[in-house]
Chain A
Amino acid sequence: MLTADELGVVLFTVKVAALGTALILPLGVAVALGLARYQGAGKSALETVLSLPLVLPPTAVGLFLLEALARRSPLGSSLAAHGIEVLFTGKAVILATSVMSFPLLVRSARTAFEEVDPRLVGLARTLGCGPLAAFFRVTLPLAWRGVLAGTVLAFSRALGEFGATIMIAGNIPGRTQTLALAIFQYNQTGRDERALVLAGATVALAFATLWTTEWITRRRARRSQA
């Protein structure tokens, strides 16, 4: 069974992953929709840049973030001037997981939005919907599966994030330590049996996430039979 500290780690991991996913959801959906509809110049360049975190080593991404947030950088110093400390806090964990899972959300949602016939959106407009109403009444209901799949992928990626997190948040028990970091630490200190227990916890989490998603998708599919 999990000790109180280990349970704290599990809860903390779920919390930062959920918060991070919630934070990137609106922006990710907006970016995905923009990419799906935009056909102009620089589209593929933009897509490539947005997908970089998928192919770069997470530690490299973490290093870039570290540089950007360091006190000597313009961003880091202005944050510090407002009394906002990010590096090596819970905020850094959320930032690291968000950056790493953002492209997964965008990719999946973009594909789903691309499959929505733009003429249906035009028709919704002629039927009295403004752009926002057309999005919520037509585009999103037709693309929600892809958006949900992207959200789940992003959340799962956030649960297991390691490289970028350790670069900008460190591995501070009780403050920034997530499941992935704790497993690493147990292993490094020769406590493999505890590492295995935590690994089991990650399996349970992943299973619960995927199963819930599947359940929602099936239930909705039965209702609309489309």
Chain B
Amino acid sequence: MIELALELPLSRFTLRVETRLGEGVTAVMGPSGSGKTSLLEALAGLRRKARGRILADGQVLLDTERGTCCPPEARRIGYVPQDAGLFPHLTALGNVRFGARGEPGLVEGAVDTLEIGGLKDRYPASLSGGEKQRVALARALATRPRLLLLDEPLAALDVGLRERILPYLLRIRDEWRVPCLYVTHNVGEALALAGQLLLLREGQVEAQGAPLALLSSPGLSREAEAGIENLLPARVLSHDVEAGVTRVRVEEGPEVSVALSPGRPVGSAVTVALRAEDVLVSVEPVRGLSARNVYEARIASQERTGVDVTLRCTLRDGGVLLARITPGAATALGLAPDRAVWLAVKSHSIQML
């Protein structure tokens, strides 16, 4: 358990974060320049101007009021920066061993977890981006950290590579059980890894809670640059190559057809992501439309969000979809709460995270 109440003056604002971090991964999201990296560096002990308190498993790492400030080397907090930050003069194994504690098997365990046994003798200059990240993760793990700070570890990698690194992060979470603070801009990563989400804005905690709930609450997710209002946990049912779709079942909700994604095994858990403005609203049953997903629903609430109108619709098969339409459309269709509607969504408007 990590408890922190931090203040760090930055050039444009003062970073103020007060929170508790338990087991598992806490994702940190927020616009660029909202203080995410500074927060990690302050926790690691690399920002001398940080004020406040940090308590880790009962040990005081920082308490400026009482004049306690643990130097970084005494904190046992692992830090993996965005560019991996490997020591160029050491081999991959040399890097992993750099901060290893005497505990036997720790280096080997970290090497095995990240599957970097084949890279041991290579120097960082000859490693790919994904390999560097894995070596950096192993290096941090080998110190047996009490908290792991990951600063957008996948941001510098292309999409295919991200999918291959993600399983390693899941292993670290599940096998090493290190609490983790994970900075990311990617909604999919946050949903796949994190049990908790911290939204930062201008150095302040804007919201904190379950990732799915936060990311799908209108208004908030925009601020987090996520912009996807409908995020629904689902399981893959089948791949229909002929029809070019993959069918998934939303938890306690309808079946959804998305563009064919054979990479997702049948039965695996996914998140269906859909922008509210990609949902078509009809007041009559829909016929003869190309959209593969049509749901009968009822308007639960209707509210003005900015220049648009956001409809909260309860589906007949269960579940909720948010739809965003123009005020003109709402008037023309005579939309009002409790009105029956049909919602149509193209398979290609839906992303699987």
Contact = CB atoms under 8 A, between A and B. Distances in A.
Interface of A: 117, 119-120, 122-130, 137-138, 141-142, 224-226
Contacts of A129: 73, 99
A126 B75 contact: yes
B99 A138 contact: no
Nearest to A144: B89
A125 B72 contact: yes
Contacts of B36: none
A127 B71 contact: no
A123 to B, nearest CB: 5
Most buried by A among B45, B85, B140: B85
Q: Which 9 A-B pairs have the closest CB atoms?
A: A127-B99, A125-B72, A122-B46, A128-B99, A126-B79, A141-B89, A126-B72, A123-B85, A128-B73
B143 A128 contact: yes
Contact of B88 (A127, A137, A226): A226
B50 to A, nearest CB: 13
B98 A127 contact: yes
B72 A122 contact: yes
Majority secondary structure of chain A interface residues (helix, strand, loop or mixed)? helix
Contacts, number: 63
Nearest to B41: A122
A141 B71 CA distance: 23
Contacts of A119: 81, 85
Nearest to A119: B85
A119 B79 CA distance: 11
Contacts of A226: 88-89, 123-125
B78 to A, nearest CB: 7
A126 B87 contact: no
Contacts of B143: 127-128
Interface in B49-99: 71-73, 75-79, 81, 85, 87-89, 98-99
A138 B87 contact: yes
A126 B89 contact: no
Contacts of B123: 224-226
Nearest to A138: B87
B154 to A, nearest CB: 19
B45 A224 contact: no
A137 B94 CA distance: 11
B136 to A, nearest CB: 9
15 contacts: A117-B85, A119-B81, A119-B85, A120-B87, A122-B44, A124-B98, A125-B45, A126-B75, A126-B99, A127-B78, A127-B143, A128-B99, A137-B98, A225-B125, A225-B126
A141 B123 CA distance: 14
A126 B44 contact: yes
Which has the most chain A C-beta neighbours within 10 Å: B46, B123, B124, B125? B46
Counting chain B CB atoms within 10 Å of each CB, which of A125, A138, A142, A225 scores highest? A125
B92 to A, nearest CB: 13
Nearest to A123: B85
Given A125-B45, A226-B125, A142 B89 contact: yes
B89 A224 contact: yes
B139 interface: yes
Contacts of B99: 124, 126-129
Contact of A126 (B78, B101, B124, B125): B78
Contacts of B78: 126-127
A125 B88 contact: no
A200 to B, nearest CB: 40
Nearest to B91: A224
A104 to B, nearest CB: 25
B45 A127 contact: no
A125 B89 contact: no
A64 B143 CA distance: 54
Nearest to B88: A226
Interface string B117-145: 00000011110000000000001100100
Contacts of B44: 122, 126
A58 B88 CA distance: 41
A123 B78 CA distance: 9
B6 to A, nearest CB: 17
Nearest to B72: A125
A126 B77 contact: yes
A130 B88 contact: no
Among B46, B89, B124, the most chain A Cβ lie within 10 Å of the Cβ of B89
A130 B85 contact: no
Contacts of A142: 87-89
A142 B44 CA distance: 23
Given A122-B46, A125-B45, A129-B73, 13 more contacts: A120-B85, A125-B72, A126-B44, A126-B72, A126-B73, A126-B75, A127-B73, A127-B99, A128-B76, A130-B71, A130-B73, A142-B87, A142-B89
